[in-house]
Amino acid sequence: MSLFDASPIAAPASTLRHAPLAERMRPHTLDEFVGQEHLLAPAKPLRLAIENDDPTSMIFWGPPGTGKTTLAKIIAALTHATFIEFSAVMSGIKEIKQVMVAAEKAAGFQSRTILFIDEIHRFNKAQQDAFLPYVERGAIRLIGATTENPSFELNAALLSRCRVYTLQPLTESDIITLLRRALADTQRGLGASRIAADEDALAVIAAYASGDARNALNALDVAASLATSLATGQVHARITKEIAAEALQRRVLLYDKSGEQHYDIISALHKSVRNSDADASLYWLGRMLQAGEDPMYVARRIVRMAVEDIGLAAPEALNLCLSARDAMHFLGSPEGDLALAQAVVYLALAPKSNALYTAYGAVLADIEATAAEPVPLHLRNAPTKLMKSLDYGKDYQYAHDVEGRIADMECLPPSLADRRYYHPTGEGRERALAQRMEEIARIRQNRRNPE
């Protein structure tokens, strides 16, 4: 019993002939597959699972164009399983349930079904529950593909029943291998057209692709068409670096404002600032802004950096970042981008201290761990006679009436008396603050123990 008649890899020749180059060049076997050596080299985990016909369901996590769909189809071909492909963007969970019911019936006739769900993270976690009983009973072998971190996007129960394999972006060397193969292949590629390509042209396309084989092959297809149209009087067309650049038009930056790349790049920016690397900070800022990130989001994160990583070592950093935010709001992009760049470089080069950040974290930890003690009586306000009769404000010392303007008075609750949260570093302005805190401590100590 079969749910459909097509092979998971092969397609009718007439259909394939008109398909995009990336689809035509899709590998049919593991030996044709390029990249992911950490998973597919001999004796590596995914290759062993495929060769041993391991029926475990799995999740392929990786950027676009790294071979997630191709691997699923190769697995189906090697295991002689029926391959059914859905996209979570285009399909509803209701129709997928119908297929799973049919697959369970087919299993009674010893028919195996691989259900491939592209962008499985698009289903919410409640919808993902629908897969659980069929995966547990072995009625289907689920292979999900996602560009998002499965730990965040997939139901924990489903994730525990699947093996997760992380796919990496292809290297430029991998991409160039695929491009050469497409140029040489006379059956599925461009070999019949006898189109040549300069090495620097292939390098331009490989750099553009950002590790995405589909992007690279589609770009090669466009470049080949351009080269053919320009090859007047020549026997064979040739893709030059200039033709490749024209085909690409504009480098595509891999970035998803709501996905993991968004968090990875803002993390890179923050950590570059923290490490006082002005050049890297500017680069990651540029990556975010050029990819279309909301500049006000970037501005908010920069303000956070000022208070988390610079703090009182350079307190003017906060005002500079707030000014950069206002400048961006007033000017917009691209003029306002320079204001954010100015702030980022200043933060990178400023003296660093997380003393305030650490101190506030310690305060929150104590608030969580200790009882909410009442405010000591001497610190309470006493606007009425009743409050005064209850000793509100009694023994309060007005600092301005005391020599040195430092009273010997405990301002923390009794259980936290003398607790010290803020430990200034010797960086920037905090050096002076540390000296001031030592001076205050000496004055208090002398008040408590006069000679």
Per-residue pLDDT of the chain (451 residues), as tens digits, is: 344 444 455 555 545 566 788 888 889 888 889 988 998 888 888 888 888 887 788 999 988 888 898 998 888 888 777 788 877 766 677 777 777 888 777 766 767 778 888 888 888 877 888 888 888 887 788 899 988 888 888 888 888 888 999 998 898 999 999 999 999 998 888 988 888 999 989 998 888 887 888 888 988 988 888 888 877 666 678 899 888 888 886 545 555 555 566 778 888 999 999 999 999 999 999 988 887 778 888 999 999 999 999 999 999 999 999 999 999 888 887 888 999 999 999 999 999 999 999 999 899 888 888 888 899 999 999 889 888 888 999 999 999 988 888 888 889 998 898 889 999 999 999 999 999 999 998 888 888 777 6
Q: Is the peptide bond before 450 cis (omega within 30 degrees of 0)?
A: no
- Distance (Å, rounded) from C-alpha 245 to C-alpha 372? 66
Q: Give the model's pLDDT for residue 435.
A: 93
- The DSSP bridge pattern shows strands 113-118 and 141-146 to be parallel
What is the predicted pLDDT for the residue at 451? 65
What is the full DSSP assignment across 163-204? Answer: EEEEPPPPPHHHHHHHHHHHHH-SSSSSGGGT-EE-HHHHHH
- The beta-strand segments (E) located in 82-182 are 82-87, 113-118, 141-146, 162-166
Look up residue 48 and give its two tokens: 């062993």
CA distance from start to end of the chain: 99
Dist CA 331 CA 312 (whole Å): 29
Q: Six-digit token pair at 172?
A: 């430029």
Long-range contacts of 189-193 (CB under 8 A, 24+ apart): 189/21, 189/24, 189/25, 190/21, 190/220, 190/221, 190/224, 193/224, 193/228, 193/237
Residue spans of alpha helices (H) in 306-398 = 316-331, 337-349, 355-369, 385-389
Separation in Å, CA 100 to CA 121, 142, 233, 285, 428: 18, 10, 58, 46, 64
- Cα–Cα distances in Å, from 272 out to 169, 262, 328, 431? 23, 16, 22, 24
**H-state helical runs in 192-259:** 199-209, 213-230, 241-248
Cβ contacts of 151 within 8 Å, gap of 6 or more: 159
- At 15, give phi and psi (nearest 5°): -70, -45
- The DSSP result for 383-426, as a single string, is -SHHHHHTTTTTT---GGGSGGG------S-GGGTT-------S
Q: Report pLDDT for 6.
A: 45
Contact 409, 373 (CB under 8 A): no
Rg over alpha carbons for the chain, rounded to the nearest Å, is 32
Q: Give residue 2's pLDDT.
A: 41
Return the DSSP state at 251. P
Rounded CA separation 75/40 (Å): 12
